[in-house]
Amino acid sequence: MKRFLNIILLLALLLAGCAPASTNEPVTLNVFAAASLTDAFAEIGKNFEADNPNVTVTFNFAGSQALRTQIEEGAPADVFASANNKEMDALIAGSHVAKDSPQIFLSNQLVVILPASNPAGIDSLEDLANTGIKIVLAAEEVPVGKYSREALEKMNASFGADFKDKVSANVVSNEDNVKQVVAKVQLGEADAGIVYTSDAVAAPELKIVEIPVELNVIAKYPIAPLVDSANADLAQAFVDYVLSEAGQSVLEKWGFGPKP
């Protein structure tokens, strides 16, 4: 028993010795980011780590709606970057994010992607209504899924009244996040998918069909530090870096539009 107590004491001393924070103490920053940011934020994270050698940036990429739920259920996040305002607003309502802290850091647009071999012979937006083709969208809960349906609504107005119904009949799966849509098209399981322009940039082997501005939807991404972050200063520093010229140029490289 005595030896046991000694060990406990020793451990306690060791822990106490660690406690006073030195500037070089290793810190992990947990960044929860929309799946569409996967490639760009991975690069930004590396740059941020290079500038702050004691910091390790850990990412959790998923659909913004999934990340929002995880944060609400207590997941340890320092920064949240969402693909829409809706999920950010939900976190403000739940006091996880301070009311005035979110900042729009980029804009994004939609594009139709096709497998390189284009098995369904699609070369215009109207072709999405052809019978028998397989379209994969993100689920309606996912920001890009909601934007996709808004864009289809606009196309409906200009291509004819049953366009959206025909396209909806062609939808074979509602995926959980945008990267799953890309994957299903890359594998050739789907004939077409609607994703962000940035996702098409990250998968250059895919064919694309542009969506003209008047039929497109401009997505605006907000970013904010979390109220409960254990490293509030560092979280803010990461947000500032994303908004800085260096951060913006990385985002631009990956096909995102500038912050408005």
Question: Which residues contact other proteins by CB under 8 A?
Answer: 1, 4, 63, 65-66, 68-69, 119, 134, 136, 139, 141, 171-176, 184, 187-189
At closest approach, how far in Å is the CB of 140 from other proteins? 8
Report the residue number, 66 or 234, with the smaller CB distance to other proteins. Answer: 66
At closest approach, how far in Å is the CB of 170 from other proteins? 11
Distances (CA, A) of 66 to 37, 62, 73, 84: 14, 6, 11, 13
At closest approach, how far in Å is the CB of 145 from other proteins? 11
At closest approach, how far in Å is the CB of 133 from other proteins? 12
Report the residue number, 120 or 151, with the smaller CB distance to other proteins. Answer: 120
DSSP string covering the chain, please?
A: -HHHHHHHHHHHHHHHHH-SPPTT--EEEEEEEEGGGHHHHHHHHHHHHHHSTTEEEEEEEE-HHHHHHHHHTT---SEEE-SSHHHHHHHHHTTSS-TT--EEEEEE-EEEEE-TT-TT---SGGGGGSTT--EEEE-TTSHHHHHHHHHHHHHHHHH-TTHHHHHHHHEEEEESSHHHHHHHHHTTSSSEEEEEHHHHHH-TTSEEEE--GGG---EEEEEEE-TT-TTHHHHHHHHHHHHSHHHHHHHHHTTPBPP-
Report the residue number, 161 or 187, with the smaller CB distance to other proteins. Answer: 187
At closest approach, how far in Å is the CB of 76 from other proteins? 19
Give dist(CA 82, CA 178) in Å, integer: 13
Report the residue number, 134 or 221, with the smaller CB distance to other proteins. Answer: 134
At closest approach, how far in Å is the CB of 101 from other proteins? 23
Report the residue number, 107 or 168, with the smaller CB distance to other proteins. Answer: 168
At closest approach, how far in Å is the CB of 111 from other proteins? 21
Report the residue number, 126 or 189, with the smaller CB distance to other proteins. Answer: 189
Report the residue number, 103 or 168, with the smaller CB distance to other proteins. Answer: 168
